[in-house]
Structure 1
C-alpha cells in the first residue's frame, strides 16, 4: 500500500513539471502578410485600371479583405470581399477599383486590410486611385484687364516673342507638351515642356517651362490671326488631360520703342511698403525713422532717422519710403523695358553733410547716395510687368518703383523725383 501511494505521488510530481517545446527557426510559424502597389488608375481607359493585392496566410484561414478610405472619409469601407478558405500559402486578388455597388471609386487614397479570424486585421500600405490629369497654361498680360496674349513677329526694332508658361503638378509625369495650332487646327509649334521644377531648397513642385514663341516658321512671320495654345500631357498611371485653351493673337503690326520723362513730387508718388506684395507680415519690421512733409520744398518729404523706443533688434533707425509711377500706355504689350530715376534734395539742416540713398530695383539694382543724383538705366524693373488683381493686391498697370531713405545721423529733404521710362508700343 505504501509503495503504491509513493508511485502515485511520484506520477503527480512529474505531471506538475512544465514541458517546454522548442522550435527551430525553420519551423517558426510565418506571419500573415499583405502587399499592395502604390497607385493605379481605375478610370476605364484600359491602362492600370485594376490593382493586384498579394497576401500570405500561414495556416488554413478564411480570407476576407476590406477596402476603406485612407484620406478624406478615413475608415469608410467601400468594398468587402470573402475569398473563402485558403490553405497555407501566398495568393493574389485583383481589385477592379469598384465599390460595393459596382461603381468606380473616386480619386483618393485607399487601404486594403486582411481581416483575421480573431477580429484583428493586417493593413497594407495605402494605394492611390489616380484618375485624372491636370495642366495649366498662362501668359503675362502686363497689367491689362482681360488682355489676350499677343505677339508681333513683324517688328524690326525688337525681336518680339510672347511667353507661354506650361505647368503640371503631377508627381508621376510621363509627358507634357505645348501645342499651338492655327484657326483651322494645323499645328504650327509642338514643344516638349516636361522639365522638372525645383524650389531653391531642392524640393520638387511640378513640371513645366516657359516657351518664348516668336510666331515665325523658317524665319518668316506666321499669317496674322488667332492661334490656340494648349498643354497636353500623360502621367504614368495612364491618365491624359489638357489645359484650358489660351488664345494668342498674331499681329500684323510692329512694336517700336518709346521713352518718356515725368517729374513727380515725393508726396504724390509715395505708396505703402506693402502695395506690391501679398507676403504675410509685410511692414511688421518697418524702420523706426519718420518720413514727414518737408518744410523746405512744397510737396517734398523730409527723411529723419530715429532710434526705436523701446529698442527693437528687428527694426532699424532708418527713415524710408517707397514710390511709384504707373505707365498705363505700357499695359498689354510688353510692360516697361527699363527705368531710370533721379532726385533733387538738400540736407534738412542747411550746410550739413547729410546724404540719402536712392534705390531702383530690377534685374540689377541701381543705388545712388547723396542729396541729388541719378540712377543708371535699370532693365527688367521690379514691377514693370504690372500686377493682375490678386488676394490683397489691386490691379496695377506697369510701373516704375523706387525707394529712398536715410539712416544714422543723416536727415535729408527731397524736392522731386524725375522718372525716365522706356517701353514698347504699337507703331502708328
Structure 2
C-alpha cells in the first residue's frame, strides 16, 4: 500500500486543482455581485478644506446581502467605513471617506482601494477604482511678466499684460490682482501664460498701480502659495507735468504718454490731435489760468496752464 501512496496523493492534488480551476472559471462567468460602481474623484486632499476634501464611493448590489466596506492599502485595512449593513437586492450603497484612518489621523499619501465583503455570499471584492490621497500643494513660479505699464483701452495697442508661469505638477492657475482672483486659466498644463486685460469682476479697472500674483490648485484641491507680487501700472494717457507757466503767446511743450496712434488735445478755445510724445503748442494770448486736456477715447489727463505777463 505504501508504494501506491505517492500516486494517490498526486491524483488527489490533480482533482483538487481541477475543482479549483472549475470553480474559478465559474466565477469568471458569473456576473459580479457589484455593479454601477462610481468613484467621481480619483484624487483628493483631506486637508484642503475644499469640495475635494472627501471622496465618495457608490455601487449597487445584484442580490441582497450584508456588507462590510474597508479602505485598504497593500492588503492592510486603514479604515472601516461600513460594518454589518443590510442592503436589499438592487440597493444603492453610498459611502464617504475623509482620508483618515480609524484613529482619525490623515493617512499617508498614495493609492488606496475600497474593499467590499459580502457576508452571505462569502465573497470579498476589491473595487478596481484606485483612490489617491494627495496632501502636497503644487508649486508655481513666474517666468514672465510684460509689459509693466499698459493701457487696456481696447484699441489693440498694449491692451494686455502677459504673465508666464511654470508648475511642478498639473494644476489650474489663477491670476490674483491685489489679492482677488481676476482670471482663472482653463486646463491644467504645467507651463503656460495668462493674459490680463485690466479687468476684475467683469469691470475695467481705473488707472493706477496693481499687484499681480499667480496661485495654483492641483487635481486634489491643494492650493499653492501665491507667487511674489509684481506691480504693474494701468495708464491710459498721462502728461509729463501737471503745471505749466508761460507768457502770453509763448510756446509750451509737454510730454504725452499713451499707446494710441493719436491723442486729442484742447487748450482754451483751440483743439486738435497729435501723436503721443512731446506736444508743442502756443499759449493763449491773454493772461489767465487755462486747462490743457489730452484725451484717448474716454480717458483724459489734464495740466494747468498759467499765463502771466512778463514782469516789467
Q: TM-score, normalised by structure 1?
A: 0.34
Q: Which has the higher strand share?
A: 2
Name the structure, 1 or 2, with higher relative contact order (CA <8 Å, separation 6+). 1
